[in-house]
Structure 1
Amino acid sequence: MDGFVSHCTNRLDAKGRVSIPASFRAALARDGFEGLYVHPSIDQEALDCGGHALLREIHDLLGRLSPYSEERDLFSTALIGTSEILKVDSEGRVILTESLKAYAMIETEVTFVGHGHKFQIWEPSRFRVHLEEARTRVRDLRKQLSARHATPDTPPPRPHGARE
């Protein structure tokens, strides 16, 4: 798989560095981006991170908006104007800036969360709350989707092995 999957938690060291998970570093290397592109998430108290794939998605979004529109200016400010490109050292570590840590309320540990084309960095306890909320909402969405696809004329399923 070429994208970012799974999640794990790592501790910041005494110098404020944190190791990017090896599978995430491998995905960044395949993407060919030098460093790590990071911006505050527009809808969570987390950081969105990635390389060329994330930047392409942002530029594709901006390209669909009228060049001098308020919407484009707002998205540009939120996704590009607050972004940083962090240097990844030879050990696969980055130093999160104070502004990034403050936005995501990070102190001593971070949780890396894969999203396919990007990953997020969370403060671990905030991620646990977000994950539980996501699971609850996905269960509710699944019920809604199941209800939409059920047809009123469809008889209930027969028990396994039952005869007509």
Structure 2
Amino acid sequence: MFYGEFHHTIDEKGRLIMPAKYREQLGASFFITKDLWNKEEERCLFVYPQSEFNELSQKLHKLSNSSKEARFLNRYFFSSVQDTAVDKQGRVLLTTELREHACINREVVLVGVDTHIEIWDLDKWEAYNASDTLEMDKLAESLGELGI
């Protein structure tokens, strides 16, 4: 399970130090890709360990020929996948394409979200958390219905 929030910077070569806490769970190799929803206010990168990526891949594969939209989603998602690992200094290279997609400049926030990690540009993360787009009352009701 991934949780917590870590602030880091991207170096001039596009490398990011992956927190030691996350490196242990990610394993020897892992995957970085665009977010699935492609909503402007939520653009970030997703980081998956091998097992979670395989599970997601199998689910998306089931959709692959069901509709034009499903085929688009598969192309959108899989075309940007970066199979990677950390170097000896615990850094990972983020491709230019991925950094541009998430509007990542220099300051980033890594956020643990249970089964994966999200990498956000710091300014986008702060704007997202300051927005009032979420209706917390409705969310609280839903959680109550689940017994939480």
- Normalised by the length of structure 2, the TM-score is 0.80
What CA distance in whole angstroms lies between the structure 2 residues aligned with 1:51 and 1:110? 20
Structure 1: gaps of 5 or more residues: 150-164
Please, which runs of 5 or more residues in structure 2 have no aligned partner? none
The alignment covers a number of residue pairs equal to: 142
Query: Using the alignment, how far apart are the partners of 2:57 and 2:12 within structure 1?
Result: 36
Query: Are the aligned partners of 1:65 and 1:71 in contact in 2 as well (CA < 8 Å)?
Result: no
- Taking the aligned partners of 1:67 and 1:136, their CA distance within structure 2 comes to 33
1:16 corresponds to: 14
Give the AA of the match of 1:109. E
Q: CA deviation at 1:4?
A: 1.1
Indicate the residue corresponding to 1:162 in structure 2: none
1:98 aligns with 2:96: yes
Structure number with greater Rg is 1
Percent identity at matched positions?
Answer: 24
Structure 2 equivalent of residue 155 of structure 1: none
- Which of 64, 67, 72 does residue 69 from structure 1 map onto? 67
In the TM superposition, what whole-angstrom CA distance separates every residue of 1:12-67 from its partner, at most 9, and x where no partner exists? 224332101111101112xxxx4331111132310111122331232232243264
Q: Distance in 2 between matches of 1:139 and 1:116?
A: 23
The one-letter code of the counterpart of 1:22 is A
Tell me which residue corresponds to 1:57. 55
Q: Of the candidates 112, 124, 127, which is equivalent to residue 126 of structure 1?
A: 124
Q: Which residue of 22, 29, 37 corresponds with 2:31?
A: 37
CA RMSD in angstroms comes to 2.6
